[in-house]
Structure 1
Amino acid sequence: MSNAEFDVIVVGGSYAGLSAATQLGRARRRVLVIDAGQRRNRYAQHSHGFLGQDGREGAAIAAEGRTQLMKYPTVRWREGAATQAVPHDGGFRVTLADGSAHHAQRLVLATGMADELPSIPGLAERWGGSVFHCPYCHGYELDQGRIGVLATSALSFHHAMMLPDWGTVTFFLNGVFEPDAEQLAKLEARGVTIERAAVRAVSGKAAVLLEDERVIELDGLFVLSRLHSASALVEVLGCEMEDGPMGRYVRTDMMKATSIPGVYAAGDAARMAGSVAFAVADGAMAGAASHQSLIFGLPA
């Protein structure tokens, strides 16, 4: 019988973490959620594409999820950043920034990702408001208006090809990417306008100022950010990583188990691209899998 304080510690109290903890709480397991309060979509006012919650404020979805979760008597919640996690007594000891530590048999990482944007004046200030990364999350609300795509890599070609379904598209190459002849033909067939002048700044709602002093007014601008883990725990624990087109994320199997026995990962931290719906699904799987491992043991 383990002497661990908790059966499972869930690091991250956003959608994936809430979902994982809910499965565990419903299994009447002792769960601690440690949350630093940094939801990735905190910059966007509304969340879209999540069944039953379409158009609702992301903060409200998370708040209701927490309220429902905390009705389960075996669940505890700690505000703060988890800074260290080490194997301990057959499980894991997790230390917070304030020096407090907690011990659990299993660990679920739902720590999310941080977005790194190109260093163009005015871009970061509009992130989540009129500058976006996901067409499925934000494209419909632009009402078939004027849409820009700012190239950050060759992958931006796919962005530019997709977005004409949501509006009239201008593709700002910005010296980062040059489509080949076949790609140019495909973009032309989709009605995409190519703009090769360098981008100097973004102002107003989503107006793009070019180096030749022209200003192109837009209703929304899409850009693929570079992704970084929002927590150092994945590196501290030594979890194997995958190299995705936008950054590195935690490698997991179908049950959301990482390369470290007893450690699971869910949500944006453990997939190439994310959304609220994906995060909730991942969290449910990680919660159920970590629970079952307490009963049947870890794979040899």
Structure 2
Amino acid sequence: MKHDVIVIGGSYAGMAAALQLLRARRSVLVVDAGRRRNRAATHSHGFLGYDGADPAEIVRTARAQLDAYATLRWHDGEAVVASGEKDAFAVALADGSVHHARRLLLAMGVSDTLPDIPGLQDRWGRSVFHCPYCHGYELQRGAIGVIATGPMSIHQAQMLPEWGRVTFFLDGRLELDAAAADDLANRGVRVESATIASIEGHADVVLADGRRLAFAGLFTAPRNAPSSPIAEQLGCALAETPFGTQVATGDSRESSVPGVYACGDVARAPHSVSLAVGDGAWAGAQVHRSLILPAI
């Protein structure tokens, strides 16, 4: 069977895109590897209508709504190889099956590379975050630590005094020029130059000199990259951003490869559930337009 569209990635952006296509009565195969980026978080904030909801419940609700459409096929598994050209794409799955489609939509999200600090990864999404709009309010104006990864971390440290008392840990990864140091001082940000030994407890920063500083939450700016090599297999151009690497797209969310589209975290920054859903809805509509108005 040849589908109109294969969506690779069944999280927020992928499901939002699929919904637009299903409502246009198009045949859609969603391939989902089950590695939702916010799977470690117990609450999702800032998404209208679901503020404070369990992310897993948001996904279950969305999936049940998609299942009501007769032209949906859903595969729980991983897409490992994609090839072909516009109107004639093939996607091979980990189970050995091969599926064909006129269009591909990449919504597989990104992987996060965190600073190599013992205990940090274990707390990612629970007491270590990247988005203040998603998690800052719940810290109740408490003490907040920002762990530097690069220049983008300065932006985090500048913003987070809106949500609490901020200590900025340079951790040997960043040097501040005089202008940045003055700006942070004017915002009341304390700069700590000692190296971090580990993260312990809820969000305690243990320094190499033996000091232990407790925080309501920690923020850091991970480096992002597509969570699958499929975009590169297809020859899609990639773009470097302050957040990392993403699939380069135009306003229609079409990549550099005709017929291959991308949306959500893998194709835009910054990242949040709300932005992923909106981007997916737009991409789904643009993919449909390409099927019925090929010259556009």
Aligned to 2:196: 199
Q: Which residue of 2 aligns with 1:291?
A: 288
For 2:64, give the aligned amino acid: T
Shift in CA distance, 298/122, structure 1 to aligned 2, threshold 3 Å? farther
- Residue deviations 1:111-152, cap 9 Å, x none? 100101111100000000100111111000000001000011
Identity over aligned pairs, percent: 54
Q: Pick from 58, 62, 77 the counterpart of residue 74 of structure 2.
A: 77
Q: Is the 8 A contact 1:93 1:101 kept in 2?
A: yes
Residue equivalent to 2:157: 160
Q: Which of 11, 17, 21 is 1:20 aligned to?
A: 17
Partner of 1:271: 268
Alignment of 1:6-85 (within 5 A): 6-85=3-82
**Structure 2 counterpart of 1:42, one-letter code:** R
Amino acid of the residue matched to residue 277 of structure 2? Answer: V
Distance in 2 (alpha carbons) for counterparts of 1:245 and 1:231: 20
Contact 1:262–1:298 (CA under 8 A) maintained in structure 2: no
Q: Please point out which of 98, 103, 116 is paired with 2:100.
A: 103
Q: Bigger shift: 176-185 or 69-78?
A: 176-185
**How far, CA to CA, are the matches of 2:112 and 2:289 in structure 1?**
33
Is 1:133 the counterpart of 2:130 in the alignment? yes
Gaps of 5+ in 1: none
Instruction: Tell whether the 8 Å contact from 2:87 to 2:103 is kept in structure 1 after alignment.
Output: no
Residue 186 of structure 1 corresponds to 183
SS in structure 1 opposite 2:173? coil
Amino acid at match of 1:208: V
Shift of 1:63: 1.1
Secondary structure at the aligned position of 1:41 is classed as: coil
**Superposed displacement of residue 246, structure 1:** 2.2
Instruction: Give CA-to-partner distance per residue, 1:59-84, whole Å, 9 cap, x none.
Output: 11111111001101111101100011
SS in 1 for 2:68: coil
Measure the CA separation in 2 of the matches of 1:33 and 1:298: 26
Root-mean-square deviation over aligned CA pairs: 1.1
Aligned to 2:171: 174
Residues 94 and 101 in structure 1, CA contact (< 8 A), matched pair in contact too? yes
Find the residue that maps to 1:42 and give its secondary structure.
coil
CA contact (8 A) 1:261 1:298 kept: no
Q: AA paired with 1:44? A: A
In the other structure, the counterpart of 1:234 is 231
1:116 equivalent in structure 2: 113
Structure 1 residue identity aligned to 2:3: F
Shift of 1:238: 0.9
Q: CA deviation at 1:258?
A: 0.7
Alignment: residue pair count: 296
Superposed displacement of residue 272, structure 1? 2.6
The whole-number CA distance in structure 1 between the counterparts of 2:5 and 2:83 is 14
Q: For 2:40 and 2:110, locate their aligned partners in 1 and report how far apart those are by CA, in whole Å.
A: 13
